[in-house]
Chains A and B, each alone.
Chain A
Amino acid sequence: MFLNELFRTATFRLTLAVVAAMIGSAAFQFFLGYSQATVFEARRSDTLLYREAALLQTESQEDLERKVRDRATDDLRVIMNVTTLFDHDHLYIVGDLHDWPEGLVADGHVHEISLQNTDHSPGSPGVLRMLAVSVRGGRFLVLGRSWHMRSELRLMMRHSLLVSIVPTVLFALMTGIVLSHRALARVKDMHEAIDRIMEGDLHERLPAGRQRDDLQRLAGSVNRMLDRLERLMDEIRDVGNDIAHDLRTPLTRVRARLDRARSAGHSAEALRNVIARAIDDLDQSFAVITALLRIGEIENGRRRVGFGTVDLDGLATDIIDLYEPIAESKGIVLRHTPGHGVMQVLGDRDLLIEVLANLVDNAMKFTPEGGHVTIRTYEDADGVSLQVEDTGIGIPPQERKAVTGRFYRSDKSRHVPGSGLGLSLVLAIVQLHNAVLRIGAARRDPDLPGAVFTICFVAASHALPPPDEAA
């Protein structure tokens, strides 16, 4: 079971492949060495045979006979294993070989001959390199050298191959087993960690291990992904809690109101009043849900199809037209300061007017009577900007990032009604337009510093190059 698992690890398979390659390459090397040595040895042997044959060919008939006889009995040099003289009918005259070797042709070239009956001489060479040349008197001289060198070479090579390869392979296999066992253990740890994460323990992380290798890198990536997921999950949980809270408040009111209306004897008019207020509260709940759905929709970026050229000053004029009466009734001066030239951006008019309406709405909520709300457009190196400035209570620097979070409501604004989603919606729309939202203070007044919301667009004419170049 364990071995089976071991075999299936990538490390062990890699080891096996390396071992196979090692055996193959060693065998190839030894084969190459062996065949080179064989060729070399054959050439050396043949040179000797030719030289000896040439030497003996020059002897007279008697001298040759004598030399051959001497060789057969007391030659100590043992250069030739076979030296025999045959007559023209291949019949034995003198020497250490009694029969004409089968297959030998008297053409003066070396042949490889194997002798069956090897009883004639000591050392009994099985295979010989032989050569037959004609000498004086129509006779044939047969010379031969044992070819046992080749089998000895082969034997030697086989031995050294085994001696070198077997320990190497064993060592490699052992290393492979150890390594893959370790990898298996780490993967097993990771599996266990993943199982715990899947059971809901999102704080768990994969063990990275001490080695800086691919497994560690993978574990690192997965852990970073888990960090992000955990953060997102927390956000979603927070948002979920906020939604539940923001929905529960009006629903609680509805319930209490209906409950009370049921118990006491009310007039038809009073009941109608209760119903109207219940519907108002329900509408507030629906407004929260609708705003959330819209933000989700916008954040999914489905709406970019509706983009066209939008004139920001035209937008401001329309918004002033819509909000001026309410500004008047609140004693606030609502103004529009257009920039120089045409302030056009690429965007969705309906969404941008919603952004501006939200910002103006917000500014008027937090600006006391006698204050100013100014819509400004201008163009600078960054691109075209749309700005809404007020002289209200302002936003403390530490809260500026948080105000765009869902349902965020500053302590200063708890008493002001609203879904708490207006700025989240603004931010979602701004991001859909690849624009930047900046929040700052309008002036140095400790009581009413005012707030400035600036939306900076990459200008329509700069829209073609990627944003980093344009900036």
Chain B
Amino acid sequence: MTGPDTSDRVENAASPVIPTGPSVLLVEDDVKIAQEVAEELESRNFRVRHETSGSAGLEVGLAHDFDVMIVDRMLPELDGLSLIETLRERQVRAPVLVLSALSAVDDRVSGLKAGGDDYLTKPFAMEELAARLEALLRRPTNSRETMLRAGPLTMDLIERTVTRNGERIDLLPREFRLLEYLMRRPDQVLTRNMLLEDVWNYRFIPQTNLVDVHIGKLRRKVDENGGPSLIQSIRGAGFMLRVSK
């Protein structure tokens, strides 16, 4: 499966190009939001199927195989969590991103407990949604690997060492953790919230640009002098460890 190309945005959202990328089921009762989301995703080469009620979503979700699903928590007829639970009972394994207007951590926990794989609070940036969908589609495959390689970087997870072109780089434990997260997800847009949630395990958005400072510090250690940075900033979205040329 090839992920949607998020680095080169399609300029015109109303482009007549028929999407050929991953299929996504969007269950959302607010038609206007759903339309925006669908157009955005289609411009990113997703094939979008939209349903407005929980029961319709369940029917379609059972009848077809989707690569990923986006389910709103509050839905008419059948609420989002029950929908996900039913799908999981019927052996539907596609990853699910839960959307919610509720921000409490409890709601997040219950969303994940019901079988959701990620949780996004409204309002959200389209980049955030796209990055998270991509993350769900490209879940780290083999976590048992002991050596990670990305471009000139090599990470030894047993020795806890990092080398660039064979040259040892000294990293603090938190920098090591951050780099490991990036190296497991090369060429993938990672938002600040994703980093905060996954690397530091924080569920709130700090007022200061903490993540940028951390990335900046890491960048100075891993980048070669003069060359372009390995960790690129994606405007309006987050960061990416660029490996492919």
**A residues whose Cβ falls under 8 Å from a Cβ of B:** 276, 279, 283, 286-287, 290, 293-294, 297, 302-303, 305-306, 318, 321-323, 325-326, 329, 348, 350-351, 353-354, 357-358, 361, 364, 417-419, 422
- Whether A357 pairs with B200 at a CB distance below 8 angstroms is no
With most chain A CB atoms within 10 A of its CB, the pick from B204, B205, B207 is B207
Distance between Cα atoms of A286 and B205 in the complex (Å): 12
Complex contacts, B205 vs chain A, CB 8 Å:
287
Q: Is residue B214 contacting chain A, with contact meaning CB distance below 8 A? A: yes
The stretch that binds A, out of B39-47, B80-88, B98-106, B138-146, is B98-106
Q: In chain B between 186 and 217, which residues have their CB closer than 8 angstroms to a CB of chain A?
A: 200, 202-210, 213-214, 216-217
What is the distance, in angstroms, from B97's C-beta to the closest C-beta of chain A?
19
- Whether B106 pairs with A302 at a CB distance below 8 angstroms is yes
Complex contacts, B121 vs chain A, CB 8 Å:
290
Distance between Cα atoms of A418 and B213 in the complex (Å): 18
What is the distance, in angstroms, from A411's C-beta to the closest C-beta of chain B?
20
Distance between Cα atoms of A87 and B125 in the complex (Å): 133
- Whether B104 pairs with A302 at a CB distance below 8 angstroms is yes
Known A276-B236, A318-B200, A329-B213: A361·B103 in contact at CB below 8 Å: no
Nearest CB in chain B to that of A286: its residue: B123
- Whether B106 pairs with A418 at a CB distance below 8 angstroms is no
What is the distance, in angstroms, from B209's C-beta to the closest C-beta of chain A?
8
Distance between Cα atoms of A357 and B203 in the complex (Å): 11
Complex contacts, A358 vs chain B, CB 8 Å:
207
- Whether B202 pairs with A357 at a CB distance below 8 angstroms is yes
Nearest CB in chain A to that of B199: its residue: A322
- Other A-B pairs beyond A303-B106, A326-B210, A357-B202, 14, CB < 8 Å: A276-B235, A279-B125, A290-B103, A306-B106, A306-B109, A321-B200, A322-B210, A325-B210, A325-B213, A325-B214, A325-B217, A329-B213, A350-B202, A353-B202
Nearest CB in chain B to that of A293: its residue: B103
Bin the interface of chain B by size.
20 to 34
- Whether B204 pairs with A357 at a CB distance below 8 angstroms is yes
A-B contact pairs, 30 of them (CB 8 A): A276-B235, A290-B121, A297-B103, A302-B104, A302-B106, A303-B104, A306-B109, A318-B200, A321-B174, A322-B202, A322-B206, A322-B210, A325-B214, A325-B216, A326-B209, A326-B213, A329-B213, A350-B202, A350-B203, A350-B204, A351-B105, A353-B204, A354-B204, A357-B202, A357-B204, A357-B206, A358-B207, A361-B206, A361-B207, A364-B208
Distance between Cα atoms of A417 and B210 in the complex (Å): 15
Distance between Cα atoms of A84 and B203 in the complex (Å): 121
What is the distance, in angstroms, from A430's C-beta to the closest C-beta of chain B?
16
What is the distance, in angstroms, from B118's C-beta to the closest C-beta of chain A?
17
Contact count A vs B, C-beta below 8 Å: 63
Say which residue of A297, A326, A329, A353 sits within 8 Å of B104 (CB atoms).
Answer: A297
- Whether B106 pairs with A326 at a CB distance below 8 angstroms is no
Does more than half of chain B's interface fall in helix, strand or loop, or is it mixed? loop
What is the distance, in angstroms, from B95's C-beta to the closest C-beta of chain A?
24
Complex contacts, B174 vs chain A, CB 8 Å:
321
Q: In chain B between 205 and 241, which residues have their CB closer than 8 angstroms to a CB of chain A?
A: 205-210, 213-214, 216-217, 235-236
Q: In chain B between 155 and 213, which residues have their CB closer than 8 angstroms to a CB of chain A?
A: 174, 200, 202-210, 213
Complex contacts, A303 vs chain B, CB 8 Å:
104-106
What is the distance, in angstroms, from B109's C-beta to the closest C-beta of chain A?
8
Complex contacts, B210 vs chain A, CB 8 Å:
322-323, 325-326
CB 8 Å contact bits of B111-136 with A (1 = contact, 0 = none): 00000000001010100000000000
- Whether A326 pairs with B208 at a CB distance below 8 angstroms is yes
Complex contacts, B209 vs chain A, CB 8 Å:
326
What is the distance, in angstroms, from A300's C-beta to the closest C-beta of chain B?
10
Distance between Cα atoms of A354 and B206 in the complex (Å): 8
What is the distance, in angstroms, from B167's C-beta to the closest C-beta of chain A?
23
What is the distance, in angstroms, from B27's C-beta to the closest C-beta of chain A?
23
What is the distance, in angstroms, from A286's C-beta to the closest C-beta of chain B?
5
Complex contacts, A361 vs chain B, CB 8 Å:
206-208
With most chain A CB atoms within 10 A of its CB, the pick from B200, B203, B206, B209 is B206
Known A287-B205, A418-B207, A419-B207: A305·B213 in contact at CB below 8 Å: no
What is the distance, in angstroms, from B215's C-beta to the closest C-beta of chain A?
9
What is the distance, in angstroms, from B182's C-beta to the closest C-beta of chain A?
16
With most chain A CB atoms within 10 A of its CB, the pick from B121, B123, B125, B216 is B123
- Whether B106 pairs with A305 at a CB distance below 8 angstroms is yes
Complex contacts, B105 vs chain A, CB 8 Å:
303, 306, 348, 350-351
What is the distance, in angstroms, from B183's C-beta to the closest C-beta of chain A?
20
With most chain B CB atoms within 10 A of its CB, the pick from A302, A357, A422 is A357
Distance between Cα atoms of A419 and B214 in the complex (Å): 23
Complex contacts, A353 vs chain B, CB 8 Å:
202, 204
Complex contacts, B214 vs chain A, CB 8 Å:
325
Complex contacts, B123 vs chain A, CB 8 Å:
286
- Whether B213 pairs with A279 at a CB distance below 8 angstroms is no
Distance between Cα atoms of A245 and B215 in the complex (Å): 35
Distance between Cα atoms of A303 and B204 in the complex (Å): 15
What is the distance, in angstroms, from A192's C-beta to the closest C-beta of chain B?
44
What is the distance, in angstroms, from B121's C-beta to the closest C-beta of chain A?
8
Complex contacts, A351 vs chain B, CB 8 Å:
105
Complex contacts, A350 vs chain B, CB 8 Å:
105, 202-204
Complex contacts, A329 vs chain B, CB 8 Å:
213
Distance between Cα atoms of A395 and B152 in the complex (Å): 50
Distance between Cα atoms of A350 and B204 in the complex (Å): 8
Distance between Cα atoms of A245 and B65 in the complex (Å): 48
Distance between Cα atoms of A287 and B206 in the complex (Å): 10
Complex contacts, B200 vs chain A, CB 8 Å:
318, 321-322
Distance between Cα atoms of A325 and B214 in the complex (Å): 6
Complex contacts, A290 vs chain B, CB 8 Å:
103, 121
Nearest CB in chain A to that of B201: its residue: A318
Say which residue of B104, B109, B202, B206 sits within 8 Å of A294 (CB atoms).
Answer: B104
What is the distance, in angstroms, from A152's C-beta to the closest C-beta of chain B?
90
What is the distance, in angstroms, from B212's C-beta to the closest C-beta of chain A?
9
Distance between Cα atoms of A286 and B122 in the complex (Å): 9
Nearest CB in chain A to that of B109: its residue: A306
Complex contacts, A287 vs chain B, CB 8 Å:
205
Complex contacts, B204 vs chain A, CB 8 Å:
350, 353-354, 357
Distance between Cα atoms of A287 and B217 in the complex (Å): 27
Complex contacts, B216 vs chain A, CB 8 Å:
325
- Whether B236 pairs with A279 at a CB distance below 8 angstroms is yes
